[in-house]
């Protein structure tokens, strides 16, 4: 099944047999294996539709270093080599679906939109030996099994969140994570840009938010923040991987960094000190004060102007120091500001304790699946992004001896990350309310790219598969084998993943 051979002598390439077409994560919707395989060679060209040049360049950039072939880009014409074709009437492929046909002549990827071609390229990448991820010439051969894949996502929202507030991550670190997420067809990157421990985005009208509020992090390190230009660079980089950035400003709680930066935002007018611990629930914006809304308007206006994506996430979780009445008043006043800037409200599911506006999306982060307020809101039209903490929180420890992470939602092995259904987890909520899934990575204990890799892999691909693959394909025994085949790829990519005993990883060289 795994397509790895036992050949170990130096002259024998590590992987000889081409892997089965279904050996992809997330597993494609329809796979028909058969026919002759295709093998890349010195003369392979990449043929692209005019609208597919960007994806073609990206593919060439992925393959050239390891294959060592020139792989020039050519216009469509003969259907030999690699073909990336946009076709308005390719079938029911939608915004993100693709078809991948492998014959003796080549690999043709067809899609209605460039995002579909990009996802098809990720599939092609996984069908090649793991050594394709190396950045120096590798021996090959580079063979893809014959047959056809037709693939469309189950959900349109397949997100990953990175908390850049508890610990700050540089643009380069976030871009590295974006590249890792793209391999699993994640299409939304949620950035948790503010919390008690740090404010991470420059706001011109309130400059101390970033300059002072961003000056530390959990543990007392130097923190940091994104200039507007850096944030825009992240948005562009994500877009080049067909990923949309969802910025979050958490309100009215989780706001100590803002309260410390501007005394007038506090009910008593006194700025508290910066905070570098990990408690939650002690801070609140002053709901009764007019200045609070001048602040919110300015922040949302500047953030909306920087953000081409449809969502602004306004947090709303754990407002333990805000009265229920104040919470409702605040959320009801702030949501129309978001829609006023042409954006869709996204918030943690506590927003259902207020009055979610038409079109609002609640991000469910409970563990029980029985929260009646959220169910009622979903029945009344609020849509859901599913992030049950005991399945999708990438900051939960795998087991008691995991060095990083928290355990308040329980230990979460990769089988737990995979073992739930987004459509039915919240019992009584209509399946049609579910927009998709998201795997949040909170960073109280996470501070480096290696930490991110260790906590996200292998669980992120499990959540990504729940978001992309059809429900009928759900099968742990099949998933763990496909996941095992990803291990050598992560090794080649330099990802320090958790070698879960639940997965039969191939022996390391």
Quote the Cα angle for 10-14-19, to 5°. Answer: 160
DSSP state letter for 402: -
Give least dist CB 278 to ligand NGO, A: 8
What is the smallest separation between the CB atom of 136 and ligand NGO, expressed in angstroms? 39
On whether the CB atoms of residues 504 and 481 are closer than 8 A, the answer is: yes
As measured in angstroms, the least distance from the Cβ of 214 to ligand NGO is 17
Query: How is 431-456 classified by DSSP, letter by letter?
Result: GGGEEEEEEEE--SS--SHHHHHHHH
- Which of 81/405 has CB closer to ligand NGO? 405
Please report, as residue ranges, which positions from 46 to 75 form the binding site for ligand NGO (by CB under 6 A).
none
Residue closer to ligand NGO by CB (options 210, 409) is: 409
- Asked whether position 217 contacts ligand NGO by CB under 6 A, the answer is no
- In the bound state with ligand NGO, the residue whose beta carbon lies nearer, of 206 and 348, is 348
133 binds ligand NGO (CB under 6 A): no
Question: Any contact of residue 395 with ligand NGO (CB under 6 A)?
Answer: yes
Phi and psi at 23, nearest 5°, equal -85, 60
385 with 436: CB under 8 angstroms?
yes
Nearest distance from C-beta of residue 331 to ligand NGO, angstroms:
15
Q: Which is nearer to ligand NGO, 389 or 462 (CB)?
A: 389
Residue 346 contacts residue 312 (beta carbons within 8 Å):
yes
Q: Which two tokens stand for residue 211?
A: 């300059």
Beta strands in 193-304 (DSSP E): 194-195, 198-199, 244-251
- Close Cβ partners of 234 (under 8 Å, ≥ 6 residues apart): 171, 174, 175, 178, 191, 226, 245
Nearer to ligand NGO, 5 or 370 (CB): 370
Instruction: Give the gyration radius of the chain's Cα atoms.
Output: 23
Residue from 38, 169, 393, 490 touching ligand NGO (CB under 6 A): that is 393
Name the pairing type of β-strands 198-199 and 194-195. Answer: antiparallel
Tell the smallest beta-carbon distance from residue 335 to ligand NGO (Å).
18
Nearer to ligand NGO, 365 or 497 (CB): 365
* Shortest-Cβ-distance residue relative to ligand NGO: 442
Which of the residues 134, 175, 232, 318 is marked catalytic? 318
Number of residues that bind ligand NGO (CB under 6 A): 10
Q: Is 245 helix (H, G, I), strand (E, B) or coil?
A: strand
The answer to the question of residue 219 lying near ligand NGO (CB under 6 A) is no
* Residue 114 or 315 with smaller CB distance to ligand NGO: 315
Residue 187 to residues 13, 240, 246, 437, 491, Cα–Cα distance (Å) = 34, 11, 10, 11, 24
Instruction: Quote the least distance from Cβ 180 to ligand NGO, whole Å.
Output: 20
Q: Is 318 a catalytic residue?
A: yes
Q: Which tokens belong to 198?
A: 């740090």
Q: Does 364 contact ligand NGO by CB under 6 A?
A: no
Pick 53 or 280: Cβ nearer ligand NGO: 280
Q: Is 231 in the site for ligand NGO (CB under 6 A)?
A: no
Given the complex with ligand NGO, which of 19 and 397 has the nearer CB atom? Answer: 397
Beta-strand relationship, 244-251 and 311-315: parallel
Q: Does 329 bind ligand NGO (CB under 6 A)?
A: no
Q: Does 76 bind ligand NGO (CB under 6 A)?
A: no
458 cis-preceded (ω within 30 degrees of 0)? yes
**Does 318 engage in binding with ligand NGO (CB under 6 A)?**
yes
Least spacing, CB of residue 195 vs ligand NGO, in Å: 7
Tokens encoding 392? 């999708």
Long-range contact set of residues 329-338: C-beta below 8 Å, sequence gap at least 24: 329/287, 330/251, 330/252, 330/285, 330/287, 330/354, 331/252, 331/355, 333/293, 334/251, 334/293, 334/296, 334/300, 335/360, 337/296, 337/297, 337/300, 338/300, 338/304, 338/312, 338/314
365 binds ligand NGO (CB under 6 A): yes
For the chain, the helix, strand and coil percentages under 3-state DSSP, each to the nearest 5: 35, 20, 50
Least gap, CB of 109 to ligand NGO (angstroms): 38
Smallest gap from residue 220 Cβ to ligand NGO (A): 18
Judged by CB under 6 A, the residue of 2, 73, 171, 280 near ligand NGO is 280
Residues 6+ apart with CB under 8 A from 452: 162, 169, 173, 176, 177, 441, 446
* Residue that the structure tokens 């939304």 belong to: 188
Neighbouring CB atoms inside 10 A of 123's CB total: 22
List the interface residues with ligand NGO, window 426-465 (CB under 6 A): 442, 444
Q: Does 406 participate in binding ligand NGO (rule CB under 6 A)? A: yes
Paired with 148 in beta bridges are: 32, 101
Q: Is residue 317 part of the contact set for ligand NGO (CB under 6 A)?
A: yes
State the residues that interact with ligand NGO by CB under 6 A: 280, 317-318, 348, 365, 393, 395, 406, 442, 444
Catalytic annotation, residues: 318
């Amino acid at each position: 099944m795994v397509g790895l051979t036992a050949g170990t002598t130096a002259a024998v390439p590590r992987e000889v047999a081409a892997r089965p077409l279904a050996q992809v994560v997330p597993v494609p919707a329809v796979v028909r294996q058969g026919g002759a395989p295709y093998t890349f060679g010195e003369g392979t060209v990449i043929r692209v539709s005019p609208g597919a040049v960007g994806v073609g360049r990206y593919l060439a950039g992925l393959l050239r270093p390891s294959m060592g072939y020139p792989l020039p880009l050519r216009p469509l014409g003969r259907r030999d080599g690699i073909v990336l074709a946009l076709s308005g009437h390719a079938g029911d492929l939608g915004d993100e679906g693709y078809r991948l046909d492998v014959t003796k002549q080549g690999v043709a990827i067809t899609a209605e939109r460039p995002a579909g071609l990009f996802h098809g390229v990720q599939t092609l990448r996984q069908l090649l030996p793991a050594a394709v991820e190396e950045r120096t010439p590798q021996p090959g051969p580079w063979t893809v099994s014959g047959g056809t894949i037709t693939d469309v996502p189950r959900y349109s929202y397949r997100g990953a969140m990175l908390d850049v507030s508890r610990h700050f991550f540089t643009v380069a670190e976030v871009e590295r994570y974006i590249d890792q997420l793209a391999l699993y067809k994640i299409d939304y990157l949620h950035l948790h840009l503010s919390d008690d421990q740090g404010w991470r985005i420059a706001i011109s009208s309130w400059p101390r938010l970033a300059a002072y509020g961003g000056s530390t992090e959990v543990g007392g390190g130097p923190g940091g923040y994104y200039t507007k230009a850096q944030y825009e660079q992240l948005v562009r980089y994500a877009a080049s991987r067909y990923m949309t950035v969802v910025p979050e400003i958490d309100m009215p709680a989780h706001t100590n960094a803002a309260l410390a930066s501007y005394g007038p935002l506090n009910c008593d007018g006194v700025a508290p000190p910066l905070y570098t611990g990990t408690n939650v629930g002690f801070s609140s914006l002053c709901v009764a004060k007019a200045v609070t809304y001048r602040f919110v308007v300015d922040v949302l206006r500047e953030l909306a102007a920087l953000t081409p994506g449809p969502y602004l996430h306004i947090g709303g979780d754990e407002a333990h120091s805000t009265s229920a009445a104040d919470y409702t008043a605040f959320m009801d006043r702030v949501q129309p500001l978001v829609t006023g800037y042409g954006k869709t409200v996204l918030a943690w599911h506590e927003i259902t304790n207020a009055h979610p506006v038409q079109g609002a999306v609640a991000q469910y982060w409970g563990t029980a699946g029985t929260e009646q307020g959220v169910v009622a809101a979903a029945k009344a039209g609020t849509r859901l992004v599913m992030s049950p903490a005991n399945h999708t929180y990438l900051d939960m420890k795998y087991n008691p001896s995991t060095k990083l992470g928290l355990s308040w939602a329980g230990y979460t092995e990769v089988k737990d990350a995979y073992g739930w259904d987004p459509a039915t987890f919240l019992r009584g909520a209509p399946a049609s309310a579910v927009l998709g899934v998201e795997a949040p990575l909170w960073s109280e204990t996470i501070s480096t790219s290696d930490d991110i890799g260790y906590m996200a892999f292998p669980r992120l691909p499990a959540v990504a598969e729940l978001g992309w693959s059809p429900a009928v394909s759900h099968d742990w025994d099949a998933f763990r084998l496909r996941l095992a085949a990803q291990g050598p790829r992560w090794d080649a990519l330099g990802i320090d993943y958790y070698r879960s005993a639940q997965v039969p990883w191939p022996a390391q060289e």
